[in-house]
C-alpha cells in the first residue's frame, strides 16, 4: 500500500511555533489529591499556530475535558455524531469520555489554544458552559487579556512541577476558563449593546405577540430595572413603548399596502382590543387608522 504523501499526511502535533506541555501521570495523580488543586487542574496545555493538517481522533474519548479556542482559520469537531465548526473567536469544550475527532481546515488552517483539564469541579464548569449537557460552539470577543492568561498559565507550568507551581497553575487555569465560560459576567460592557440590539430584532420578529416588560427582560437575562435602563440608554424609549412604536409602524404599512381591515391588522400586530389599538395609533400618528389610510390613498 502506498504511503500518504507529506502534503496529505495527518498531523497530531509538531507545528512551527507551537507550545505544548503535557503533565506526567504521577503529577496528575498528585494534583488530584492536593486540597488546592483537586477541584480543578490542567493536565495538558498548548498553542498550535497555523496548524496545517492538524487531525486528532480519540475513539474512546479522553479522561479529561478539552477546551479548543480558535483565533484564526477554521476547523471542525465531531462529537456524538454531531459536527461543529470552529471559526475565529469561537470556543468549544469536548466532554470527557466521549469519542471525538477534530481537524483543521485544509484551505484555512486554524490557530488554536487548547487545554485539557480535570478535577472535582470540572464537570460543574462544563455544565455552566454547555446547553443542558450538550456541547455548543460559543463566540467570545477577542480579548488580549485572555491570551495573557494563557501565557501566564503556560509559563507557570514551564517553570517546573513543584507543588507551589502546580497550585498556581490550578488557580490560573480557573481564570483562563472563566474568561470563556463567564465572559459575559466578567465583561458585561461587551454584551449590553448587542443584547439590546438582539432584543429589538426579537421584537420585530414577534410583532404579533404581546409581551410584558418582565417577559422581555427575563428572555435576555436581565432584571426589569437593568433591562429598562439599558434599553432607554440605547433607544431613548422604554422597552414596551418602543415595542408599541414598532407595532404602529408595521400597521401603517398594512394600512397603506394591503386591503386588510382594522380587525385583521390588530391581530397582525398583537392587539386584541381594536379600540385600544385605534387610541394607540392616534396617540402616535396624530390621526385615526381610518383617517391615515384615506390620506394615503388621496396622496
Predicted local distance difference test score (pLDDT) of residue 191? 67
Give 66's strand partners: 94, 116
Q: Domain check: are 132 and 212 in the same one?
A: no
Task: Please state the domain count of the chain.
Answer: 2
Predicted local distance difference test score (pLDDT) of residue 2? 43
Contact assessment for residue 157 and residue 45, using Cβ atoms and an 8 Å cutoff: yes
Predicted local distance difference test score (pLDDT) of residue 196? 87
CATH number at residue 236: 1.10.10.60
In a domain, 39, yes or no: yes
Range of the domain at 46: 19-186
pLDDT per residue as tens digits for the range 72-131 = 999 999 998 999 999 999 999 999 999 999 999 999 999 999 999 999 999 999 999 998
Task: State the pLDDT confidence band at 194, using cuts at 50, 70 and 90.
Answer: confident
Predicted local distance difference test score (pLDDT) of residue 236? 86
Q: Domain check: are 206 and 161 in the same one?
A: no
In a domain, 289, yes or no: yes
Q: Pick from 243, 141, 135: which is nearest to 194 by CA?
A: 141
Predicted local distance difference test score (pLDDT) of residue 70? 96
CATH number at residue 62: 2.60.120.280
Task: Tell whether the model's pLDDT for residue 298 goes beyond 80.
Answer: no
Distances (CA, A) of 64 to 42, 45, 139, 208: 9, 12, 22, 47
Q: Domain check: are 123 and 199 in the same one?
A: no
Contact assessment for residue 65 and residue 118, using Cβ atoms and an 8 Å cutoff: yes
Q: For the chain, what percent of residues have pLDDT higher than 90?
A: 73
Q: Pick from 118, 97, 96, 110: which is nearest to 44 by CA?
A: 118
Sign of CA dihedral 160, 165, 170, 176: negative
Q: Domain check: are 139 and 222 in the same one?
A: no
Q: Domain check: are 119 and 147 in the same one?
A: yes
In a domain, 14, yes or no: no
Task: State the pLDDT confidence band at 155, using cuts at 50, 70 and 90.
Answer: very high
Give 167's strand partners: none
pLDDT per residue as tens digits for the range 201-216 = 999 999 999 999 999 9
Q: Domain check: are 47 and 151 in the same one?
A: yes
Listed residues 186, 219, 241: the one ending a domain: 186
Q: Domain check: are 213 and 168 in the same one?
A: no
Q: Domain check: are 144 and 219 in the same one?
A: no
Q: Domain check: are 180 and 223 in the same one?
A: no
Q: How far apart are CA 153 and CA 114, in angstroms?
A: 12
Q: Domain check: are 129 and 204 in the same one?
A: no
In a domain, 2, yes or no: no
Amino acid at each position: 500500500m502506498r504511503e500518504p504523501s507529506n502534503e496529505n499526511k495527518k498531523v497530531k502535533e509538531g507545528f512551527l511555533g507551537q507550545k505544548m506541555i503535557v503533565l506526567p501521570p504521577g503529577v496528575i495523580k498528585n494534583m488530584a489529591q492536593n486540597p488546592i488543586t483537586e477541584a480543578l487542574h490542567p493536565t495538558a496545555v498548548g498553542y498550535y499556530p497555523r496548524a496545517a493538517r492538524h487531525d486528532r481522533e480519540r475513539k474512546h474519548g479522553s479522561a479529561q475535558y478539552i477546551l479548543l479556542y480558535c483565533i484564526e482559520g477554521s476547523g471542525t469537531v465531531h462529537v456524538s455524531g454531531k459536527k461543529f465548526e470552529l471559526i475565529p473567536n469561537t470556543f468549544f469544550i469536548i466532554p470527557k469520555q466521549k469519542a471525538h475527532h477534530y481537524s483543521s481546515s485544509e484551505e484555512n488552517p486554524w490557530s488554536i489554544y487548547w487545554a485539557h483539564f480535570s478535577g472535582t469541579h470540572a464537570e460543574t464548569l462544563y455544565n455552566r458552559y454547555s446547553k443542558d449537557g450538550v456541547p455548543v460552539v460559543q463566540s467570545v470577543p477577542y480579548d488580549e487579556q485572555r491570551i495573557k492568561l494563557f501565557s501566564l498559565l503556560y509559563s507557570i507550568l514551564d517553570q517546573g512541577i513543584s507543588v507551589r507551581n502546580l497550585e498556581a497553575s490550578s488557580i490560573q487555569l480557573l481564570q483562563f476558563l472563566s474568561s470563556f465560560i463567564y465572559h459575559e459576567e466578567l465583561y458585561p460592557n461587551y454584551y449590553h449593546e448587542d443584547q439590546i440590539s438582539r432584543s429589538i430584532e426579537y421584537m420585530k420578529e414577534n410583532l404579533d405577540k404581546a409581551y410584558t416588560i418582565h417577559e422581555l427582560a427575563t428572555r435576555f437575562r436581565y432584571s426589569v430595572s437593568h433591562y429598562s435602563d439599558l434599553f432607554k440608554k440605547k433607544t431613548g424609549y422604554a422597552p414596551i413603548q418602543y415595542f408599541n412604536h414598532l407595532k404602529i409602524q408595521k400597521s401603517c404599512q398594512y394600512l397603506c399596502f394591503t386591503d386588510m381591515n382594522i380587525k385583521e391588522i390588530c391581530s397582525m400586530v398583537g392587539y386584541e382590543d381594536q379600540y385600544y389599538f385605534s387610541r394607540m395609533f392616534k396617540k402616535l400618528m396624530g390621526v385615526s387608522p381610518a383617517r391615515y389610510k384615506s390620506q394615503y390613498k388621496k396622496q
